[in-house]
């Protein structure tokens, strides 16, 4: 098969995973917020393959200028064997919010083999980079809106082929999504990215759908990219099946849910042991689903560590504080959840 066509198809499928998130009330307000997901592959019939599950962490790094707009910048690392795998963040996404619209910056990460593409083809893909109004929260349910459409021409077996790459989106009915962090009433967006050959009409070579569920102050609570079957019979070849994937939240490593019973109030318990050296367990109870933050400070009020910084469902949790790299002294830990806030003192003795 023509190598250029294979590369184009691979890039097209990667595009389908770009648009998958967010207007400002749907995005967490605090930098440092992290999302923890499991990435479950889907077979050709879209059945989950849990034995091949990997993990992904997204981190709200900063709000700063980004390619011409002020953006919430998110760093990501994906395809980890475990959540505590020591892996650097290797991807960046930018989100900008204007009224009821959420814009996302499309970055084209060219594959290694694309260095052999003609410069015109490389420029074609790079020309797709830019800000797109991907999340139109006021758009009528079921009404499609176009994100981009761009044409080019390549040679396949000495035949000039007119190609078109385009993407569209639409808002679907809201849905309640059940997660390990509780249930969310989420906005649902369906995205479609397609590669077509254009004769008199468009003939689809590959169409890659993608659906994301977006919850208030939480961002993405679920994402499904079904498997894609690519029919290349037009070029005298068979078909190619590309596995899909499903992202769902998981409880981060280091936070243990020890009871799913719903407490009647928020509680921050005294750490134990106390005094301690070098580790100590901190337990807390969450009355209702929401954003939870647990930080440790030294006696001067300097932040030492963030132990919890995510959405949690009601229940009782525990986490461990490691003071092995700290000097002896008094430290404080503070839990905030909704309108609740409490601080307690602990003593590290070496």
Is there a single domain that holds both residue 183 and residue 261? no
Closest CA to 312 of 35, 27, 30: 35
Statement to judge: residues 101 and 16 lie in one domain: yes
* Residue 195, CA atoms < 13 Å, CB-side half-sphere: 25
DSSP codes of every residue in 190-252: EEEEEEEEESSSEEEEEEEEEEEEEETTTEEEEEEE--EEEE-GGGT--EEEE-EEEEEE-PP
Same domain, 96 and 239: yes
Confidence at residue 156, expressed as pLDDT on a 0 to 100 scale: 67
291 with 217, same domain: the answer is no
Q: What is the CATH number of the domain that holds 63?
A: 2.40.360
Residues 209 and 306 in one domain: no
Residues 18, 108 share a domain = yes
Q: How far is 29 from 118, CA to CA, in rounded Å? A: 43
Tell me the pLDDT band of 118, cut-offs 50, 70 and 90: low
In this predicted structure, the answer to whether residue 117 has a pLDDT above a threshold of 90 is no
Q: What is the pLDDT of residues 12-31, one digit of tens each?
A: 555 555 554 447 889 988 88
pLDDT, mean of residues 261-275? 95
Residues 178 and 49 occupy one common structural domain? yes
Angle at which helix 3-15 crosses helix 119-126, to 10 degrees, equals: 10
Burial class of 327 by CB neighbour count within 10 A (0 to 12, 13 to 18, 19+): exposed
| Spatial separation of the C-alpha atoms in residues 55 and 70, rounded to whole Å | 29
Do residues 224 and 261 both lie within one domain? no
On whether both 135 and 68 belong to a single domain, the answer is yes
d(CA 323, CA 319): 13
Specify whether 266 is located in the same domain as 139. no
Q: Looking at the structure, do residues 268 and 302 belong to the same domain, yes or no?
A: yes
The CATH number assigned to the domain holding 316 equals 2.60.40.1930
Higher pLDDT, 328 or 252: 328
pLDDT-wise least confident of 76-80, 114-118, 228-232, 319-323 = 114-118
Position 230 pLDDT exceeds 70:
yes
Query: 106 or 65: which carries more pLDDT confidence?
Result: 65
Give the domain-ending residue among 249, 280, 308: 249
For residues 208 and 314, membership in a common domain is answered with no
Domain residues for 63? 3-249
Q: What is residue 21's predicted lDDT score, i.e. its pLDDT?
A: 44
Cβ 35 vs Cβ 77: under 8 Å: no
Alpha-carbon distance 264 to 335, whole Å?
17
Query: What does the block give as tokens for 66?
Result: 């980004």
Supply the mean pLDDT for the chain.
87
Q: Which tens digit of pLDDT belongs to each residue from 309-319?
A: 888 889 999 99
Q: How many domains are contained in the chain? A: 2
Q: Which of 219, 249, 279 is the last residue of a domain?
A: 249
The residue among 222, 249, 276 that closes a domain is: 249
């Amino acid at each position: 098969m023509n190598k250029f066509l294979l590369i184009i198809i691979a890039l097209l499928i990667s595009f389908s995973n770009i648009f998958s998130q967010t207007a400002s009330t749907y995005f967490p307000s605090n930098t440092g917020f992290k999302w923890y997901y499991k990435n479950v592959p889907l077979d050709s019939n879209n059945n989950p393959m849990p034995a091949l599950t990997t993990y992904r962490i997204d981190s709200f790094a900063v709000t700063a200028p980004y390619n011409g707009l002020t953006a919430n910048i998110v760093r990501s690392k994906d395809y980890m064997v475990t959540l505590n795998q020591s892996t650097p963040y290797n991807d960046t996404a930018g989100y900008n919010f204007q009224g009821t619209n959420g814009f996302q910056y499309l970055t084209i990460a060219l594959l290694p083999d694309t260095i052999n593409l003609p410069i015109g083809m490389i420029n074609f893909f790079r020309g797709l980079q830019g800000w797109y109004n991907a999340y139109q929260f006021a758009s009528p349910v079921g009404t499609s809106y176009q994100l981009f459409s761009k044409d080019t021409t390549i040679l396949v077996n000495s035949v000039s082929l007119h190609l078109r790459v385009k993407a569209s989106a639409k808002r679907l009915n809201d849905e309640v999504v059940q997660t390990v962090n509780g249930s969310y009433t989420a906005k649902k967006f369906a995205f479609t990215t397609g590669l077509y050959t254009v004769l008199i009409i468009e003939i689809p070579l590959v169409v890659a759908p993608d659906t994301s569920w977006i919850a208030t102050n939480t961002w993405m609570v679920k994402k499904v990219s079904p498997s894609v079957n690519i029919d290349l019979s037009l070029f005298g070849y068979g078909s190619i099946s590309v596995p899909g994937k499903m992202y769902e939240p998981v409880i981060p490593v280091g936070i243990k849910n020890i009871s799913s019973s719903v407490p009647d109030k928020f509680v921050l318990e005294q750490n134990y042991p106390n005094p301690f050296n070098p580790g100590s367990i901190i337990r807390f109870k969450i009355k209702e689903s929401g954003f939870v933050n647990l930080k440790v400070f030294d006696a001067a009020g300097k932040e030492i560590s963030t132990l919890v910084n995510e959405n949690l469902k009601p229940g009782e949790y525990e986490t461990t504080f490691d003071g092995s790299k700290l000097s002896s002294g008094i430290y404080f830990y503070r839990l905030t959840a909704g309108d609740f806030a409490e601080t307690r003192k602990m003593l590290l003795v070496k």
